[in-house]
Amino acid sequence: MIQSDSEFGPPSHYLDSVGPPVSYPQFAGQVTSDVCVIGGGFTGLSAALNLAEAGYNVTLLEGERVGWGASGRNGGQIINGFAQGMADIAHLLGPAQARQLWKLSLEATQIVQQRIARHGIDAEYKPGYLLAATRPRHMAGLAAELDYLTGLGDTQARLLDRAGMQEHVASERFRGGLFDPGGGHLHPLKYVRGLAAAAASAGVHIFEKSLAVRIETASASGPAVHTSQGRIQAKNVVLCCNAYIGSLDPEIRARIMPVGTYIIATEPLGRERALRLLPHNACVSDTNFVLDYFRLSADWRLLFGGRVSYTTVPPVALANRMRSRMIATFPELHNAAITHAWGGFVDISRNRLPDIGRRPGNIYYAQGFSGQGVALTGLAGKLIADAIRGDAEKLDVFARIPHRPFPGGPWLRMPLLMLGTLYSRLQDII
């Protein structure tokens, strides 16, 4: 079962595998800052770190604890590209913008690796990502995607047939796959805590349990952010709340939908047994619309994620249902105990592309990473920091992407999305 959140989040494998967190103070009083960042996850910490290193005075507000949301709970997969294939993005936006976005996605994965090395973050990083085809027809789509990536100058990814796939994943479930050595995986909670430590060392003033409740934009001095116990007067505000944006900005909130996703962890399997399942220790996602994803932890557990919900309530008997999915992929794990089951919310956009841009009154925002935020959030924070410093060229590549609100308004948009997802789930089965 999914257990209720503690002060530090759900009792996940990640939380149980790290030491106690550094505690940051609660905000109170009246301060002035060059930049107020709202959100203590990957995006907010990236923006804050970049700005502090450039000499800005930065205040960061986190409503819970650093990494409490998706940044400390996710599948840990670092993926080049986006939730949509690049050929589809080119059809939507044109080949020139698609090429720019692809190059920026490569920069995103490099940022993660560079930050781990530069700041000495023990994030358990391992290289290698596999997109696994669950149906024969999916192989044609992967081949077309590889052709498109090759045309963009990507020479790393390679197509695997069924036999080649089984060299990476010891399962009969997959028909083949697309292997990208430029992707990889990490321990997300260790990574987000490492980013926070680096930001604090750079001079960022981090405050926890300091929920931003209102942004005031009418002031001639710039925007001001209010909490229950104080006010930050800033020249710029950066919104990095994703699924937890609440009522801070209803207009951009309407363009994302919070989606629950869930992970189980097995008992430690031992190195030999674990590497029989994933001999090259790459992380894996499948090609279904409602996908499964999995990888090994540093202590040789299998972390198996997937399933979605569009309400605030986890599905009934979720851990058992996910265990069944895991055993369907790896039958030899039928006797492996499940030690942890947890979940959280990611935010999706209608076109499954990140929604990054500016609002009136020197307010910047980033959201809608659609399940691929481990790398793209770090890029978003850097691009926002660059824009505040006066270089918005790369930010504008994302700002030109058209984003629309989910249909149905506050009451009907979730049921309408569930209907659309039901159709896509049927396509997964056919």
Query: Confidence class of residue 213 from pLDDT cuts 50, 70 and 90?
Result: very high
Annotate 45-57 with DSSP letters as a single string.
HHHHHHHHHTT--
pLDDT at 424: 43
Contact 225, 36 (CB under 8 A): yes
CA 237 – CA 47 distance, rounded (Å): 11
CA 68 to the chain's CA centroid: 13
CA 427 to the chain's CA centroid: 25
pLDDT at 201: 98
Q: Where are the beta strands (DSSP E) in 188-229?
A: 205-207, 212-216, 224-227
In the DSSP assignment, the letter for residue 244 is G
pLDDT over threshold 50, residue 423: no
CA 321 – CA 305 distance, rounded (Å): 11
Residue with the larger pLDDT of the pair 410 and 158? 158
In the predicted model, what is the mean pLDDT of residues 347-370? 96
Percent of the chain with pLDDT over 90: 82
In the predicted model, what is the mean pLDDT of residues 58-69? 97
Amino acid at 328: A
In the predicted model, what is the mean pLDDT of residues 157-173? 97
In the predicted model, what is the mean pLDDT of residues 375-380? 98
Query: In degrees rounded to 5, what are phi and psi of residue 78?
Result: -105, 115
Query: Confidence class of residue 164 from pLDDT cuts 50, 70 and 90?
Result: very high
Residues 6+ apart with CB under 8 A from 96: none
Q: Under the phi-then-psi rule, with left for phi > 0, alpha for psi from -120 to 50, and beta for the rest, what region is 29?
A: left
pLDDT over threshold 80, residue 391: yes
Instruction: Report residue 382 as tokens.
Output: 């850097």
Query: Confidence class of residue 123 from pLDDT cuts 50, 70 and 90?
Result: very high
Q: Please, is 295 exposed, middle or buried when counting C-beta atoms within 10 Å of its C-beta (0-12, 13-18, 19+)?
A: buried
In the predicted model, what is the mean pLDDT of residues 226-247? 96
3-state secondary structure of 220: coil
CA-closest candidate to residue 195, choices 21, 26, 364, 13: 21
CA 191 – CA 411 distance, rounded (Å): 36
pLDDT over threshold 90, residue 184: yes
pTM of the complete model: 0.94
CA 202 – CA 217 distance, rounded (Å): 28
Instruction: Report residue 281 as tokens.
Output: 């220790």
Query: Confidence class of residue 310 from pLDDT cuts 50, 70 and 90?
Result: low
In the DSSP assignment, the letter for residue 240 is -
pLDDT at 426: 43
pLDDT over threshold 90, residue 377: yes
